[in-house]
Structures are given as structure tokens and as C-alpha cells.
Amino acid sequence: MADHGLKKPPGFRDTTTPSKPPLGPKKPVVRKAIYQPKKERRNCCRGCCCCFTCFIFLFFLLIIAFFGIFYAWYQPKIPIFRFKPIEFNRFVVTPKSDGTAIINSQITFRVEVKNPNSNIKIYYGETKVSITADQETELGSASVPEFTQRIHNITLLKFTAGLDNRIVDSTVGIKLKERVKNKKVVLNAEVKTKIGIGVFNVKIGMLPVNVNCGGLSLKEINDGNSSPKCSFNTLRWYNYNSNF
């Protein structure tokens, strides 16, 4: 006869059998988000860059085309400067015992400015002219106020400059006095001004301009048989050399 075990009383717990841990709610698995740029945003930025590059390119093309058409239609020319006879109203050199000399002088000189353009007016700012003798002694400077030249206009500018008690080396002063007397002194002039152009009552500019002329003696300038060598410079990069 089989042996049936004793019935276990209510609430009996077998401590020899390992108990299973109570089932509870599972912890959520945290996954790191990986950022992936949207293709639409990338395409949008690329399109903007392309549009901006095309705009800049077209803008420069329009500027080049504008100046090309402007030059072909109007054919702008630089103004022409000519120096008229120079008068020494006074030139006194007084040697001193200390090896120096004092110069007192007054000269009158005229500059003829011509606008060779057929369709362009030229605007000038304040124009200053400085005269140098033998490339070492300044004889003075003078200026005239701003003015405007119409097409094919010729303007004669008159300047009066001088020296008051200018101290130089005695040898230089005596030599210069002799060369002025014999009209052998070589004179150089520097013109500083600002130039703008006018088309259809529209003023464009103004650009700083330097004109340097020289290499001729007083006799050659006053005889009018030769023209001094001149250089026309603006913005420190455009240079034009000619015998004006």
C-alpha cells in the first residue's frame, strides 16, 4: 500500500526550496538618440550658396558691361595740362657771413587746363601747384578754388607764389640767382587736385590726381617751342606719361 505523505497545513512554507524573486515592472531601456541632419536642410543651404554666388557673378558682369559700354560710347579722355610762360617778378638772394643765403622771391605762372571730351564735363576740387627749381629749391606754391569745365573747354589758371626770407646754402643761392638771370634754371611743377566727371548732370568721382611736369629750362618754357614731360597719376596705380 502506497505511502501518502501528510497533508501540509495551510500557510506552510518550505524553506528548503529557493524562492523566486517577485515579478515587478521592467526598467525601461534608455537608448541614445543619434542626430541625423535632414537632407532638406542641407539641400536648402546648398541652394542659397549657389544663388548668392550667381548673384555676385552677375553683379560683376553688369559692372564690367556698364563700364565697357560707357567707355565705348563716351570715350573718356584725361584732361591736358600746359604751362604758360613763367614770370619772375622778384628774385633777390642775400648772402650771409655764416655761409647761408636768404631768398626773397615772387613768381607768376599760369596753367592751361583743357577738357578734350565731347560728352563729359570735368569737375575739379581745390587745385594746388608747387614750383621747384633745379629739383632742390622750392620756389613757392599757390592754389585756386574748385571749378567745372564743360565739353571742349579751356581754362587758364593763374598762380602767384613766392618765398619770404627762405634760408638756403650760400653756394646754392648764388648759383640759383645766376641760373635764373640767364633763364637756364630747370623748373618742375607739381599739380595736386581732385577730378570727377559729369554725365547727364550726374557727378561721378572725385579721384585724387597728381600731375608732375618738368625737365625744361625757363627759356624753353617761355619760348614755347617745347613741351615739358608730364606724368598723370591717380589712385597710385594709374600712370600716364606724355608730353602735354
Q: Which helix (H) or strand (E) holds 50?
A: helix 39-74
Q: Quick check: is 13 in a domain?
A: no
Q: Quick check: is 210 in a domain?
A: yes
176-212 tens-digit pLDDT: 999 999 999 999 889 999 999 888 778 887 889 998 8
pLDDT at 69: 74
136-169 tens-digit pLDDT: 788 889 999 999 999 999 999 999 998 899 999 9
CB 174 within 8 A of CB 194: no
User: What is the number of domains present in the chain?
Assistant: 1
Enumerate residues 6+ apart whose C-beta is below 8 A from 243.
Answer: 227, 228, 229, 230
26-65 tens-digit pLDDT: 555 555 555 555 555 566 677 777 887 887 878 778 777 7
Q: Quick check: is 225 in a domain?
A: yes
Q: Give residue 213's domain range.
A: 80-243
Q: Quick check: is 45 in a domain?
A: no
The whole-number average pLDDT for the span 214-241 is: 78
pTM of the model: 0.67
Q: Quick check: is 237 in a domain?
A: yes
